[in-house]
Chains A and B, each alone.
Chain A
Amino acid sequence: MEIRSFSQLHKICESAAKKTHYPSVIEELHKKLPREWWDCGEATLWYFLPRAILDLPTKLERQEAIASIPKDTDPPNMKGFVESGVIALWRQEKKRVA
């Protein structure tokens, strides 16, 4: 598949992120993106993963999704990014409900 616009990349990243289990997310991304877009796609995942993980129905599933992110990712510290992102979105939702 040819990537004609950056918004097309978003959609693919967003859809892959919904798999939430990191190795499956990467596998999906590689399946859907041409090889030259893999790095950019992987770098964009941190933006979509927190929402996808927060939308999981149970705390255990959220913990498992975060635990599936390896420590040695490229970009570095993907796990930290995603954790911080999930916390930021969770705090915002808590504030909105209160």
Chain B
Amino acid sequence: MWRDDLARGEAVERECLDKIMVAFNSAYQTFGKDSRFDIEIPEIDCKVEVKFDPKSLDTGNIVVEYFHNKPSAMLVSEATHWLFVTGEEEIWISFDQLLACILVEGLEPVQIHGPDDRHPKAVFLVPVETLRKYANASQPLV
């Protein structure tokens, strides 16, 4: 299950990279344990964190994690931009705007314990509608 999610996530990153490379052919994907970001676009000095969150289609919320037994995801990522992929839509948002979204909207941290997780995670549940308001771009997937 966890390996399936990882494989799907990496496939989504690859698809995103393919699209980005249409405009920026130096873009590349990081692999393995390099968790600082998922894709770098050197031409525009942009580092992207890609998050595939198909469950958001059911819950209406995007999960933004910050602690999973240690600081994680948004607290350790060096990405300048985040790309959320719901399965039906892509939402691009700069890191500063993501922070603004969470703080200005007063989204309180919550703890969730996924079925495959050994430890609970501290996360923000960001309503997709709210995230769109702060996004740099959002577009349906074709």
Contacts and interface: CB of A to CB of B under 8 A. Distances in A.
Interface string B70-105: 110001100000000000000000001001101110
Contacts of B75: 43, 46, 75-76, 81
| Chain B interface extent, by class | 10 to 19
Interface centre among A6, A43, A81, A89 (most CB of B within 10 A): A43
Contacts of B102: 47
B103 A85 contact: yes
B67, B109, B110, B111: most-surrounded residue (chain A CB, <10 A): B109
A58 interface: no
A74 interface: yes
A10 B108 contact: yes
A88 B122 contact: no
Interface in A45-70: 46-47, 50-51
B28 interface: no
A89 B109 contact: no
Nearest to A13: B109
B75 to A, nearest CB: 4
Nearest to A50: B103
B76 A6 contact: no
A88 B96 contact: yes
Interface of A: 6, 10, 39-40, 43-44, 46-47, 50-51, 74-76, 81, 84-85, 88-89, 91-92
Interface of B: 66-67, 70-71, 75-76, 96, 99-100, 102-104, 108-111, 122
16 contacts: A10-B108, A39-B70, A40-B122, A43-B75, A46-B75, A47-B102, A47-B108, A47-B109, A50-B103, A74-B71, A75-B71, A75-B75, A84-B96, A88-B96, A88-B100, A89-B103
The list of the 10 closest CB pairs from A to B, nearest first, reads A75-B71, A88-B100, A6-B111, A75-B75, A43-B67, A92-B104, A43-B71, A84-B99, A85-B103, A88-B103
